[in-house]
Amino acid sequence: MSFVLTGWMMYTMWAVLGLMSLDLLMGVYKSLKSNSFSLDQLSGFLGGILTWVFPMLLLVNLNATDLDPTGGWILSVLYYLTGIGVIWKLLKNLKGKM
């Protein structure tokens, strides 16, 4: 399973992982501030890795194969649409935590 995140794919993945980390940090800060810390935030973060990041990595890996007859355009568009959707959802979550 060898793939390379090139160009904007890498920046999209950085944005997703960065916003997920920021969401985790804000949740931990708010729970520590209210003295109600639990490990549910960590399980939510790991669940986000499995439900958002792993499928994006699968799309990149499928893009490296000859599965797509259009030269990889369909899978690239799916990757970016998935990234935009995840970024939008994480921004809404962050806005709700503020």
What pLDDT was estimated at residue 84? 93
Give mean pLDDT, residues 21-30: 89
Confidence check: pLDDT of 15 > 90: yes
Residue pLDDT, tens place only, 5-14? 678 888 888 9
Provide the residue type at 16 as one letter: V
Which element (helix H / strand E) includes 41? helix 40-48
Give mean pLDDT, residues 19-32: 89
Confidence check: pLDDT of 85 > 90: yes
Share of the chain above pLDDT 70, in %: 94
CB atoms within 10 A of CB 73: 11
The DSSP secondary structure of 69-91, one letter per residue, reads TTSSHHHHHHHHHHHHHHHHHHH
Confidence check: pLDDT of 75 > 70: yes
Q: Note the pTM of the prediction, 2 decimals.
A: 0.80
* Token pair of 36 as six digits: 């109600």
